Structure 1
Amino acid sequence: MPIRPEHRFFYPIDWAQLSAVIRFGRAKGFGRPHGQKMVYHLGDGRWWDAQAGRWRDGWGRRIRIAAEADILKRARRTRVVLAAAHRDHDTSNNADANLAAFRQRCHMIHDRPEHQRRRWRTLFRRKALGDLFGGPYV
Structure 2
Amino acid sequence: MPIRPEHHFFYPIDWAQLSAAIRFGRAGGCREGCGRPHGQMVYHLGDGRWWDAQAGRWRNGWGRRIRIAAEADLPYRVRRTRVVLAAAHRNHDSSNNADANLAAFHRRSHGIRDRPEHQRRRTLFQRKARGDLFGGPYA
Q: TM-score, normalised by structure 1?
A: 0.89
Q: Does residue 73 of structure 2 align to residue 70 of structure 1?
A: yes
Q: Does residue 17 of structure 2 align to residue 17 of structure 1?
A: yes
Identify which range, 70-79 or 23-32, moves more after superposition. Answer: 23-32
Q: 1:38 aligns with which of 25, 37, 41?
A: 41
Structure 1 unaligned spans of 5+: 134-138
CA distance in structure 1 between the partners assigned to 2:36 and 2:50 by the alignment: 13
User: Partner of 2:108 in structure 1?
Assistant: 105
CA distance in structure 2 between the partners assigned to 1:22 and 1:68 by the alignment: 38
Q: Does residue 99 of structure 2 align to residue 129 of structure 1?
A: no
Aligned pair count reads: 132
Structure 2 unaligned spans of 5+: none
Q: 1:91 aligns with which of 75, 94, 101?
A: 94
Aligned-pair RMSD on alpha carbons? 1.4
Q: How much does 1:70 deviate?
A: 1.5
CA distance in structure 2 between the partners assigned to 1:53 and 1:95 by the alignment: 36
Displacement over 2 Å in runs of 4+: 31-35
Aligned partner of 2:94: which letter?
A: T
User: Partner of 1:7 in structure 2?
Assistant: 7
Q: 1:49 aligns with which of 47, 52, 58?
A: 52
CA distance in structure 2 between the partners assigned to 1:44 and 1:32 by the alignment: 14
Q: Percent identity?
A: 77
Distance 1:45 1:32, change over 3 A: closer
Aligned partner of 1:11: which letter?
A: Y
User: Partner of 1:28 in structure 2?
Assistant: 28
Aligned partner of 1:50: which letter?
A: A
